[in-house]
Amino acid sequence: MKFTIGTDIGGTNTTTGIVDPSGKIIRSHSFRTDDYDDSQQYAAQLAESVTSLIQQTEAELGGADVEWLGMGIGAPNGNSLRNSIDHAPNLRFKGEILLADMLNQHLKLPTIRLANDANAAAIGEKIYGGAADYDHFIMITLGTGLGSGIYVDGKLVDGQHGMAGEVGHMSVIPNGRYCNYHRRGSLENYCSAMGIRRTFFEMLAETGQASKLNHLPIDDIDSKLIAKCASEGDAICKDTMEFTGRLLGEALASVALVTNPAAIFLFGGPVQAGDILLSPTRRSFEKHIIPTYQNKIKILTSELPLGEAALLGAAALVLTNK
Amino acid sequence: MKFTIGTDIGGTNTTTGIVDPSGKIIRSHSFRTDDYDDSQQYAAQLAESVTSLIQQTEAELGGADVEWLGMGIGAPNGNSLRNSIDHAPNLRFKGEILLADMLNQHLKLPTIRLANDANAAAIGEKIYGGAADYDHFIMITLGTGLGSGIYVDGKLVDGQHGMAGEVGHMSVIPNGRYCNYHRRGSLENYCSAMGIRRTFFEMLAETGQASKLNHLPIDDIDSKLIAKCASEGDAICKDTMEFTGRLLGEALASVALVTNPAAIFLFGGPVQAGDILLSPTRRSFEKHIIPTYQNKIKILTSELPLGEAALLGAAALVLTNK
């Protein structure tokens, strides 16, 4: 039986799972990423986590007919050309971390690959999700930030520096909201979970009306609550989701004009809001796309299970031939 | 000697040239596109134009050792998957014109290929221009409109429907200037030659000041005059070029975030303005790009000869292996 290993590196936790040939995660292990500020010590801990999972799996299966195809890692600011993590703002180890090389000193695996987490999710969608039949598609991951992965001609686009698919940083409103990096007006500051929260405050300011959420501490307001409250008819929350969908649809139309995909897959917490987000997104997309593309590009929701996508995507890195 | 045939279809003229192996146009012929509203009659005229050029060339060379590799066509709304022209707004023949199929009824050539004119220019830049060493680059053609061609992994991106690379229609200012198609705020309405002209009027309105061009009829104002006048120090014209470059740089940063190119090539009349356009473009590009890309992506000017690029690009379609 052929297994892959997937690791999802987040700012808080690092989770590794063993994935069977059907795409099922049969065993996993987590430890805290932010316990480490030294990348060598972190790599040693990650290698230990992997080794232990391998040993448990082999023990359970009696060692019979077990083959390890390799390990894939999804990480913020992952660079798939060098299998490194480059200057990730939300990790404690800085600079360019050649993580795959470090792990190879501890592990004996046929391959260790690393990619940006959203790029890994795109590969996951292609191999385990809804994109199996698409050669040209775009994966959009909506979480705290907004990530993306671009498929062209059946292959993930790495780009010249291994950093393609960063559409969350596209400028959508000149001189708009403040972002990190002293930039302004980029997509993820409007359409990620964090952006939806900011829009809620903007709607409070703009309309001067009250929301059903007004009794809550500001710290408790999040995109999930806003979506729920919008579905229950709260005007401020409805306006928030409508604005988010409108801007997301307009931005996705801009992205689609670059590579002309067959479909755009949306993934992540905010997508769970359903039609209250998806309807204005699709409407705005069709409004902003040019006639030759109209009604040709589908906006779909990811078919990856929400809690497992990052791991599955990372593991799927091993299964691409590049 | 191996020759290719390139045809550039514009709204007004159709020009066909014979290109020798060194990329030199050795002979060409033009006729008016807008004399035809029937695509079959147009195709017959184009075939006649090609046949006559072939005969002249063979006569001149005595028929000795002449090989015709094929014909490439650059056209507005060219669809490279079907070798057709789809709903081109500036041509008199409407609908989907399967031009290559029509020409094959008249001509005996190994291949006839058709692509969007800006995509053809990108191929021309790769084969005859400055992009020979680039696997990942973006070609931007600035003319009346703004076109583009996207190279990924050494190959032009066609996309799912053969229509990739339409970044001129990207939204850059929500609810901005009116475009065709009932859309608003797209790049080409700001940064093409026509967009520069519109910005000049906006600057006249915004500042309330006079320009050196004020003595001219409005019909005579064009981007070339504006660029010239900007170089001579006219404040309104300088503001116009500065605004154009700022917005173009911001938009190019957005496009670069999708495919992570090594370089972006700018081509066309407005590019002749030189640093008065390129300096603000480059400055704005670096300002809007994320840190991991900074100082890594070059903004270059095309090395294709201005008057010959469309023909060379079209002919180069024959030389790509796809």
pLDDT digits (tens, 9 = 90+) for B231-243: 999 999 999 999 9
Residue A57 confidence (pLDDT): 94
Asked whether the predicted pLDDT for residue B181 surpasses 70, the reply is no
Say whether A159 and B173 touch across the interface (CB within 8 A). no
Residue among A170, A189, A199 with most chain B CBs within 10 A, to mutate? A170
pLDDT 10s digits, A56-65: 999 998 867 8
> Chain B residue with minimal CA distance to A183?
B288
Percent of chain A exceeding pLDDT 70 equals 99
Chain A residues close to B164, C-beta within 8 Å: 258-260
Q: Amino acid identity of B92?
A: R
Tell me the β-bridge partners of B298: B263
CA A77 to chain centre: 11
Question: What is the average per-residue pLDDT within A107-116?
Answer: 96
Asked whether the predicted pLDDT for residue A28 surpasses 90, the reply is yes
Q: Chain B: nearest CA to A288, how far in angstroms?
A: 6
pLDDT 10s digits, B92-138: 988 899 999 999 999 999 999 999 999 999 999 999 999 999 999 99
Asked whether the predicted pLDDT for residue B200 surpasses 60, the reply is yes
Confidence of residue A67 (pLDDT cuts 50, 70, 90): very high
Tell me the β-bridge partners of A7: A16, A73
pLDDT 10s digits, A291-309: 889 999 999 999 998 888 8
Q: Chain B: nearest CA to A164, how far in angstroms?
A: 5
| ipTM exceeds 0.90, yes or no | yes
CA A53 to chain centre: 24
Q: Which two tokens stand for residue B53?
A: 């050029």
Q: Which two tokens stand for residue B166?
A: 């339409």
For chain A, first and last CA: distance in Å?
23
B47 at the A interface (CB within 8 A)? Answer: no
Q: Amino acid identity of B161?
A: H
CA dihedral (B181, B183, B187, B190) positive or negative: positive
A191 at the B interface (CB within 8 A)? Answer: no
Residue A63 confidence (pLDDT): 66
Neighbours of B35 (CB within 10 A): 12
In the stretch 69-88 of chain B, residues with CB closer than 8 A to chain A read: 77, 86-87
Phi, psi of A71 (to 5 degrees): -125, 135
Residue B180 confidence (pLDDT): 73
Q: Which helix (H) or strand (E) holds B156?
A: strand B155-156
Q: Which of B237, B240, B268, B242 is nearest to B144 (CA)?
A: B268
In the stretch 152-181 of chain B, residues with CB closer than 8 A to chain A read: 152-153, 155, 157-167, 169-174, 181
Asked whether the predicted pLDDT for residue B253 surpasses 70, the reply is yes
Phi, psi of A73 (to 5 degrees): -125, 125
Round to whole Å and give the CA distance between B180 and B199. 17
pLDDT 10s digits, A42-55: 999 999 999 999 99
In the stretch 302-321 of chain B, residues with CB closer than 8 A to chain A read: none
Helix then strand then coil, % of chain B, to nearest 5: 45, 20, 35
Asked whether the predicted pLDDT for residue A322 surpasses 80, the reply is no
Chain A residues close to B160, C-beta within 8 Å: 135-136, 260-262, 296-297
Q: Which of B266, B217, B216, B210 is nearest to B237 (CA)?
A: B210
